[in-house]
A and B are shown apart, each in its own frame.
Chain A
Amino acid sequence: MEPFKSLTAVACPLPFANIDTDQIVPARFMSTPRSAGYGGFLFHDRRRGADGQPTGAFPLDKPERASAKIIVAKRNFGCGSSREAAVYALMDFGIRCAIAPSFGEIFGGNSLSNGLLNARVSERDADVLLAELEAGLLDLRVDLDAQSITGGKAPIPFEIDPAAKLRLINGWDDVQMTLSFKDQITAFQKRDAVERPWVKPV
């Protein structure tokens, strides 16, 4: 996984709460292999009108936001279905950082697995950022080490779990990380087989 240190890029406001992963990528695209690319599925149905053509009204379709690598949304971003395809769609579109007051938890885990930074800001700060972006602000700088977002009128701090921060900054792969605890895993299995014999399926 690519380490994430800092990022300066165009940010796009998505001034909606409870954006679920069904909206981020509709279920019917999920049989596609990842190698085919998921970027074109991002917010597929929200970006299109009844005739199936993009309306151009969705924030990501504004020409000045086309190269966005950062999105800012309201609370509970990525709630709902566990589909990691939602993260694939964001990443394949070019998004590397999502800023919101709260995130769906499975989405958070999926983001971490793929190196997509979820930056938690206060509800007030999210509203400030959204207002500035909607008023024309383009670029934001996100510094993971300092946990700060700059580019607007005032720097905005963000929160992230310390373990997630470590993994992102170092680009650690979780399977590698786990295999370094091989002995502990073996010991657990031995002990557990004695302590909980009923776990073994008959």
Chain B
Amino acid sequence: MIAPRTLFDKLWDAHVIVAQEHGDTLLWVDRHFVHEGSHHAFAKIGARGMPVARPDLTFGVADHYVPTRGRAGTAAIPDATVRGMVEKLEANTKRHGVRLFGLDDPAQGIVHVVGPERGLTLPGTLVVCGDSHTATHGALGAYSFGIGASEVAHVLATQTIWQRKPKNMRIRVDGRLAPGLTAKDMILAVIAEIGTDGAVGHAVEYAGAAVRALSIEGRLTLCNMSIEAGARTGMVAPDETTIAYLRGRPSVVSGAAFDRAAAEWLALAGDDGAQFDKDVSLDADKIAPTVTWGTSPEHALPVTAAVPDPAGIADVAKAAHVADAIAYMGLKAGQAISSIPIDRVFIGSCTNSRIEDLRAAAAVLAGRKAKVPGLVSPGSSQIKVQAEQEGLDRIFTAAGLEWAASGCSMCVGMNGDLVASGERCASTTNRNFKGRQGEGARTHLMSPAMVAAAAVAGTIADVRPMLEGRM
């Protein structure tokens, strides 16, 4: 009898080509996404004169550098560096016969939004991309992880990757999220609980009733931030929600072939009795709207809490770290988080830019005005069209926010969408590192509904009272 296997064990086993004695294992890659930042890797295979091994399994997406305002084709991008990055991706994908979701493609968007949306990401597939948030795709039951430029070059050249098998970790969230709370609150609460290195060396499977109850959009948000807990990957076992999401998507098989595939996907769920090396569990009922106050995603607290006081922390190094974060963020120890004034808001990024996220923010903003400026950038050009059909764009603009095109935008600021030095931004993104949204920028991470609440209040605010009568 074979020992019971976890979802991750099954995904791993299905991709092993060569397992070496010392643990290095050569795995087959089913989907490889490249973006503007992959120029180093293309240069590497170019220097060796190597072709792309499987252009049919490689997909280019223009997202990290693309402009989100005044978009009028690559040639019209005013900044020469930005234009050069988009042009390089166009040239590299063209030369190697790789399908590109380019600047003017109606299917363009952020790589981790486009993959699931097109049905390119499937349960049971191994997905890599030169981007640390690749674990997002695990929401569909895929084994997905971020890789560096040399590894991107290796995958381009061989369609394989060397890995050591991570350990199994399960994060269970049982119970039920309160109304107005989302997957973002859930994952911030998880990271606050286990720390930014709490899952290092592990493949995380999210489980439990509160996870099952999430839509695929919510699961994508959840898996997206796995890297912020140090995990190699994050995933949710495929279920009927997964199958319903995938049916009819453009790149997925259809008819009887789909039904056969769906049966295989459902069988990927972990076996009864499968063992995890690490198990963590949280109660969804105890999760409150969660925001970060500091410079690490683990600096997350309920909106009703106060900025911690380093004087109360016994561990000297930790106290110094907290004091440093408070100083960078321009806050005071003991200050109520819900009173912190903000300068701008950003709704977007691969964490929270899907249609459900935009609807949640719009539900708060409808009929209200934002006290601060802000930018809303949908996760894909398709989501942009859908949101406009639903009238969400008009709610954002009526509130005083700017409605832009799709891309990584202010998540990382590579395209020039930056938060000014010293400015404080309520943001739906995934990293509040020093300087992440621009040199000297201060970032508070939270859900789209919470960002909308902050826009209306002009300070970080609890969204729950603002939702009364609206849900």
CA distance A125 to B76 in the complex (A): 55
A-B contact pairs, 14 of them (CB 8 A): A23-B435, A31-B39, A34-B40, A45-B439, A76-B197, A109-B148, A113-B150, A163-B164, A196-B14, A200-B253, A201-B57, A201-B120, A202-B250, A202-B253
**Is B436 in contact with chain A by the CB < 8 A criterion?**
yes
Question: CB within 8 Å of A: which of B264-294?
Answer: 264
Q: Which of B152-160, B304-312, B377-385 contacts A (4 or more CB under 8 A)?
A: B152-160
Contact present for A105 and B37 (CB under 8 Å): no
Q: Smallest CB-CB separation from B123: which chain A residue? A: A198
Binary B-proximity of A33-58 (CB < 8 A = 1, otherwise 0):
11000000000010000100000000
Q: Which residue of A lies closest to B53 (CB)?
A: A185
- Cβ-closest chain A residue relative to B250: A202
Q: Are A80 and B433 in contact (CB under 8 A)?
A: yes
Collect the chain B residues with CB atoms within 8 Å of residue A50's CB: 440
Question: Is A7 at the interface (CB under 8 A from chain B)?
Answer: no
Contact of B230 with A27 in the complex, beta carbons under 8 Å:
no
Q: Check if B154 sits within 8 Å of A175, measured CB to CB.
A: yes
- Interface size band for A: 35 or more
Q: Which 6 A-B pairs have the closest CB atoms?
A: A113-B150, A110-B148, A163-B24, A198-B261, A84-B148, A84-B149
Query: A26 contacts the other chain (Cβ, under 8 Å)?
Result: yes
Closest to B258 in A: A198
Which residues of A lie under 8 Å from residue B40 when comparing CB positions? 34, 84-85
| B467 contacts A by Cβ under 8 Å | no
Q: Are A76 and B230 in contact (CB under 8 A)?
A: yes
**CB neighbours of A75 from chain B (8 A):** 197
Summed over the interface, the residue pairs from A and B with CB atoms below 8 Å come to a total of 176
User: Which of B56, B232, B436 is the one whose CB lies under 8 Å from A201?
Assistant: B56
Given A34-B43, A185-B17: A178 touches B158 (CB 8 Å cut-off):
yes
B146 beta carbon closer than 8 Å to chain A? yes
Of B124-132, B216-224, B348-356, which stretch is located at the interface?
Answer: B124-132
Query: Does A163 lie within 8 Å of B151, measured CB to CB?
Result: no
With an 8 A cutoff between CB atoms, is A192 at the interface? yes
CB distance from A134 to the nearest CB of B (A): 13
Contacts of B30 in A (CB 8 A): 199
The reply on A102 being an interface residue by CB < 8 A is yes
Q: Which residue in chain A gives the minimum CB-CB distance to B260?
A: A198
- Asked if A2 is at the interface of the complex by the 8 Å CB criterion, the answer is no
A82, B296: Cβ atoms under 8 Å? Answer: no
Q: Which of A16, A27, A106, A178 contacts B162 (CB 8 A)?
A: A178
Flag if A188 contacts B413 (CB, 8 Å).
Answer: no
State the B residues within 8 Å of A (CB): 14, 17-18, 20, 22-24, 26, 28, 30, 37, 39-40, 43, 48, 50, 56-57, 65, 81-82, 84-85, 120, 122, 124-125, 130-132, 145-151, 153-154, 157-160, 162, 164, 196-197, 200-201, 227, 230, 232, 250-254, 257-258, 260-261, 264, 296, 317, 321, 412-414, 431, 433-436, 439-440
B196 close to A181 (CB less than 8 A): no
Does B130 contact A82, Cβ atoms closer than 8 Å?
Answer: yes
Task: Identify the closest chain B residue to A48 (Cβ).
Answer: B439
- List of A residues within 8 angstroms of B433 by Cβ: 20, 22-23, 80
Bound form: Cα–Cα A36–B317 in Å: 37
Say yes or no: A162 contacts B158, CB within 8 Å.
Answer: no
Interface of A toward B, CB cutoff 8 Å: 15-18, 20, 22-23, 26-28, 30-31, 33-34, 45, 50, 74-76, 79-85, 87, 102, 104-107, 109-110, 113-114, 161-163, 166, 174-175, 177-179, 181, 184-185, 188-189, 192, 196-202
- A202 to B99 Cα, complex, angstroms: 13
- B81 contact set on A, CB distance < 8 A: 31
Report if A26-B125 is in contact (Cβ < 8 Å); known contacts: A80-B433, A82-B147: no
Docked complex Cα distance between A87 and B84 (Å)? 23
With the chains together, A14 CA to B162 CA distance in Å? 30
Asked if A174 and B201 make an inter-chain contact with CB atoms under 8 angstroms apart, the answer reads no
Please measure, in the bound complex, the distance between the C-alpha atom of A112 and the C-alpha atom of B402, giving whole angstroms.
43
Contact B413 A28 (CB under 8 A): yes
Question: Whole-angstrom distance from the CB of A100 to the nearest CB of chain B?
Answer: 11
Question: B37 touching A17 by the CB < 8 A rule?
Answer: no
Q: How far is the CA of A80 from the CA of B229 in the complex (A)?
A: 9
Complex: A200 Cα to B50 Cα, angstroms: 23
Least distance between B1 CB and chain A CB atoms (Å)? 22
| B414-A79 in contact (CB<8A) | no
Contact A22-B196, Cβ < 8 Å, known A105-B230, A163-B23 = no
